[in-house]
Amino acid sequence: VEYHREVYPIRVSIFETYNPGSVVRIWARDSSGNWLQLWSGPPQVIPHKPRIFSPPLALCSFKTKMLRLEFNHSRLDYYTELDAILLIGTTELILPHFGFQNRSLSALLKQLGEIEIGYSKNDDEHNLTPEHSKANCDLRNLKNSLHKYCVLYKSKLMEKIPKGKLLTKLGLHCHLIPPIEEAFNSLQNFLQEDFPQLIKEINLSTSRAATLQTSAQSSRLSYSNSDLELSRNYQIENTCGSFSVLPDETVLKILTNLDLKSLCRCCRVNKHFNNIARDALLYTSLNFKPYWNCLDSTTLSVLMPRCQYLQKVDFSWCGSYGTISPKNFIDFICCCGSLLTHLRLNCCRFVNDNVILQISIICKNLKELGLRNCTEITAEGFTELNGLKNLERIELYRTAIETAALCSILKNNPKIKHLNVAGMHERLNMDEVAIELSNSCRDLETIDCWKAQTLTPVGVRALTKCTKLKEVDFGWCGSMGAPGDSLRSFLTSCNSLEKVFLAALRGITDRDIEPLLLCHRLQQLDLLGARSLTSDICLRFLICCPQLKMLDLSFCDAISDMKIHEWRQLYPHVSIKRSFQATNFNFNRDAPIM
């Protein structure tokens, strides 16, 4: 998220309107492209109502206008919706007074919230605004009494001082050095009270060490030759806790449980660990996604010699802002890509036409290729993927691929099982793509056509030949209109469906989706906005589909809230979704200007 003005961040408020609790990390970017983690925490399970989430932030010593949020939906049963992300900051860096014991602005704000505003100690420890009506009151109080709690960091004064090694290391923390008078008093107190005691302890430990050394020497002199031999034998036998006696194969087996960061740290232990932790067998599957903020060309060059047997790699979200160039990635692929079967490059800005060309030449064994949101690839660049013949999964969400190129790829890869062409709007002719799928890819298991505005009943009817389908998303495909018998025929043919998303298809009737009752493996059904559906068909799904876990009936006008409440009581194993109306909840968007 990018803002117009740079500030020193003191609060990030996330307006969570639907299924809150999934934000787990907040990052800030400096002018050099480096990222600082402002906050991290676990995913939360909280009541299903909107809130303003303002976690305590770490000290940020630079101005920023770009934030990054990370989510973890593992503890949620449905998607998250955000209304806004508010960044509150200052034009000058403010720091708590030296006398404030925690020396943390977030701790100070929490204290102000508890004492002056009346937040309960039982409130969420990760949220400084647990009550939306009192949001940012602590900041207003801080502003009114800024001189009492904080000081301005005078960076210009520090620039005038010649920077030695100590000052360079201290940097921003130089404000923590106490004033001269306070330092003098502290030193005098140490010399009068603590120093004499320290000298006594040093003398005592020295005398004990000398006594022990003399005793050890006497004991060694009294040993006979046989005793010495016995001692040596015991030391040799008593090595069960040493890694050095384990065979390399066993150590390798242990190291396979480590993540990439831990493996790299193992290389620093000693020469033996350095050799083992670089073994190529430990680098057959790599996930760079968690290291998006620090993965760069230097890291790739260090890892290349270890990745000779690399088969699976995920670069998603990595390489932004020039940290990895197309050439850097091509060098990596040329060195390590010949055995690749799974390659994910979702949201990677370094992926361009030349990168795609090299992938098609080198990675002949690819089964999975993720190119979600790779906006640097042109329509011509996608034609190079015709050289791949073994694809089983391809992700093309919001890319520039055109109909002819995609149909050619599908024709050359009859083993395709998973296809994502969501968010294409009118770029693709989805009817032509569906016809090609029905002719070439009969083993298709999942297809995501979300917001494909060119999918009509013709394309839906063509997909009836893909009888192995388990998951389909026709949500927001406006051209389907009233699908008529096409949807009914599709659902009749594909009786192995487990997940079906039909959001915003307002013309759907009970008759259209009735064949789904025969899909006994059905787990998720999204009927959001289906205005004509009755409560009778919904009840039949709850009765006839024993594996059903989620049913979204939001904005289904013909189904009353009373029925929803009744079904939730009768079928607690099914998460029945019903979007709420936040009529009495007004987010307070007025933020204090610091």
DSSP string, 409-475: HHHH-TT--EEE-TT-BTSS-HHHHHHHHHHH-TT--EEE-TTBTT--HHHHHHGGG-TT--EEE-T
Calculate the alpha carbon distances from 19 to 304, 562, 577 in Å.
42, 21, 11
Residues 495 and 553 in one domain: yes
Residues 438, 402, single domain; the answer is no
Q: How many other C-beta atoms are found inside a 10 Å radius of the C-beta of residue 371?
A: 26
Q: What is residue 76's predicted lDDT score, i.e. its pLDDT?
A: 81
User: Is residue 88 located within the same domain as residue 144?
Assistant: yes
Strands 2-18 and 81-90: antiparallel
CA-based nearest residue to 428, from 402, 408, 404, 406: 402
The residue out of 415, 438, 462 marking a domain boundary is 415
**Domain identity same for 32 and 151:** yes
54 domain residue, yes or no? yes
Question: Whole domain around residue 437: which residue ranges?
Answer: 417-579
Letter for the amino acid at 236? Answer: I
Q: Could you read off the pLDDT tens digit of each residue along the chain, which spans 594 residues? A: 999 999 999 899 999 988 899 999 999 999 888 899 999 999 988 888 889 999 999 988 899 999 999 999 888 877 788 999 999 998 988 887 755 555 567 777 777 666 555 555 545 677 888 777 777 777 777 777 776 777 777 654 444 445 454 444 444 444 444 444 444 555 556 666 666 776 777 677 666 656 656 655 555 545 445 554 545 554 444 444 566 778 888 888 889 999 999 999 999 888 888 999 999 999 999 999 999 988 999 999 999 999 999 999 999 999 988 899 999 999 999 999 999 999 999 999 999 999 999 999 999 999 999 999 999 999 999 999 999 999 999 999 999 999 999 999 999 999 999 999 999 888 899 999 999 999 999 999 999 999 999 999 999 999 999 999 999 999 999 888 677 789 999 999 999 999 999 999 988 999 999 999 999 999 999 999 998 999 999 999 999 999 999 999 999 999 999 999 999 999 999 999 987 544 444 444 344 333
- 460 within 8 A of 436, measured Cβ to Cβ: no
Contact criterion met (CB below 8 Å) for 491 and 497:
yes
- Residue 170 is encoded by which pair of tokens? 């201290």
pLDDT the model gives residue 214: 60
The 10 Å Cβ neighbour count of residue 410 is: 20
Burial code (b: 16+ CB inside 10 Å, e: under 16) for 63-72 equals bbbbbbeeee
Of the candidates 168, 195, 220, which is a domain's last residue? 168
| DSSP state letters, 176-187 | GSPPHHHHHHHH
Burial call 24-52: b when 16+ CB within 10 Å, e when fewer? bbbbbbeeeeebbebbebeebeeeeebbb
In a domain, 189, yes or no: no
Note whether 52 and 132 are same-domain residues: yes
The pLDDT value given to residue 94: 82
Same domain, 423 and 398: no
Q: 352 in helix, strand or coil?
A: coil
CATH number of residue 440's parent domain: 3.80.10.10
CA distances from 525 to 9, 74, 229 (A): 42, 19, 77
Task: Identify whether residues 344 and 449 lie together within a single domain.
Answer: no
Q: Which residues of 505-521 are buried (b: 16+ CB within 10 A; e: fewer)?
A: beebbeebbebbeebee
Q: Please tell me the predicted confidence (pLDDT) of residue 226.
A: 52
Q: What is the pLDDT of residue 581?
A: 46
Question: Could you count the other beta carbons within 10 Å of the beta carbon of residue 248?
Answer: 11
Q: Which two tokens stand for residue 470?
A: 């388990």
User: How far is 177 from 214, CA to CA, in rounded Å?
Assistant: 45
CA distance 180 to 306: 54
255 within some domain: no
Quote the strand ranges of 93-232, DSSP E: 94-96, 150-152
* CA distance to 379, 424, 483, per residue, from 401 (Å): 5, 9, 27
pLDDT of residue 471: 97
Exposed/middle/buried for residue 189 (C-beta within 10 Å: 0-12, 13-18, 19+): exposed
Pair (356, 324) in one structural domain: yes
Backbone phi and psi for residue 57, each to the nearest 5 degrees, phi listed first: -100, 150
Q: Which of the 8 DSSP states describes residue 56?
A: P
**Inter-residue contact 572 to 548 (CB < 8 Å):** no
d(CA 258, CA 343): 21
Q: Are residues 45 and 127 in the same domain?
A: yes
Q: What is the DSSP string of 497-523?
A: --EEE-TT-TT--HHHHGGGGG-TT--
32 and 159 part of one domain: yes
- The three-class DSSP label of residue 8 is strand
Phi, then psi, of 116 in degrees rounded to 5: -90, -25
User: Are residues 362 and 447 both part of a single domain?
Assistant: no
Q: Would residue 274 count as lying in a domain?
A: no
CA distances from residue 333 to 290, 357, 368 in whole angstroms, order as listed = 20, 11, 15
Vertex 173: Cα angle to 170 and 175 (nearest 5)? 115
> What is the distance between the terminal CA atoms of the chain, rounded to a whole angstrom?
21
pLDDT at 535: 95
Residue owning tokens 């009506």: 133
228 neighbors 222 (Cβ within 8 angstroms): no
**Phi and psi at residue 241, to the nearest 5°:** -95, 10
Pairing of strands 312-314, 342-344: parallel
Tell me, yes or no, whether 201 lies in a domain.
Answer: no
CA gap 104, 144 in Å, rounded: 19
pTM value surpassing 0.75:
yes
Same domain for 12 and 141? yes
State the angle between helix axes of 105-112 and 137-144 in degrees (0 to 180), rounded to the nearest 10: 100
**Are residues 556 and 527 in contact, defined by beta-carbon separation less than 8 angstroms?**
yes
Phi, psi of 537 (to 5 degrees): -65, -35
Q: What is the reported pLDDT for 39?
A: 93
In a domain, 173, yes or no: no
Number of structural domains the chain divides into: 3
The reply to whether 275 falls in a domain is: no
Q: Is 292 part of any domain?
A: yes
Counting every residue written for the chain, the total comes to 594
The answer to whether the CB of 448 falls within 8 A of the CB of 421 is yes
Q: Among 399, 415, 431, which residue terminates a domain?
A: 415
